[in-house]
Amino acid sequence: MSDNDAAAVRNDNPAGNNHPALLECCGGLNNVDYSKMDLTLMEAFLKRINVYDSRLCVAVIAIIFNPLFWNVVARWEHRTRRLSRLFGSPYLACCCLGFVIILLNIYRSHSMTVAMKAQARWELMERTVVFYTGIAFMVFGTLLVVSSFLALGFTGTFLGDYFGILMDEKVTGFPFNITENPMYWGSTANYLGLALIGASPVGLVLTAIVAVAYKVAITFEG
């Protein structure tokens, strides 16, 4: 090795450190061998989900249909006032729509429960800490849903503003000082808690679909 080459080596490694140089933050990701990632948990999770189960399909349809239905009907009523004229009163029309929404939500919960019971549990989730975490989510979710209903009332909860039934002022107290949509996220928390309590992988998937459906509904309503 020439003197110039030796000097270049000393400049590149002035401290005489024999450790390999660290990869750059972003460029280094190109050198990661993703084929060596441990996907055991993901494979075990997916193995317990039967996507061809008709009960799972029914639950997914119910999850997507519900917010789509009440948003379409409410906007149609806002434009045409057909329901108010049909029932002779915007209050009666709103109450009837609210009753239909309650029945749809009951059926959605039933279909999700049936799908979760029909598919395999995951032993990894059958732990005391997971069980009580699920209970905590259900308590918190129920608190959001009930307190939201008490703050808004029946017509405020079930799209009364689309029927021309407006509140005197915007509700800013609990739980709306935590989130703008406590009814939606409280319901999502309830389903997440139910999935954890039941150690149900498919329940987690269905809960994720509920969250996405509500997020789309919030964007649509906004």
71, 213 in Cβ contact below 8 A?
no
Q: Is residue 43 a known part of a binding site?
A: no
Q: Is residue 140 a known part of a binding site?
A: yes
Q: How many CA atoms lie within 13 A of 213 on its CB side?
A: 23
Q: Is residue 160 a known part of a binding site?
A: no
Residues in contact with 67: Cβ distance below 8 Å, sequence separation at least 6, in sequence order: 213, 214, 216, 217
Inter-helix orientation angle 182-197/90-118, to 10°: 20
Tokens 């075990």 found at: 44
196, 133 in Cβ contact below 8 A?
yes
Q: Is residue 139 a known part of a binding site?
A: yes
* Distances, alpha carbon 147 to alpha carbons 51, 74, 186, in Å: 36, 23, 10
Residue 205 structure tokens: 């998937």
> What value, to the nearest 5°, has the Cα angle with vertex 218 and ends 215 and 221?
150
What count of other Cβ atoms lies within 10 Å of the Cβ of residue 138? 19
Residues tagged in the binding site annotation: 139-141, 221-222
Residues tagged in the binding site annotation for S-adenosyl-L-methionine: 139-141, 221-222
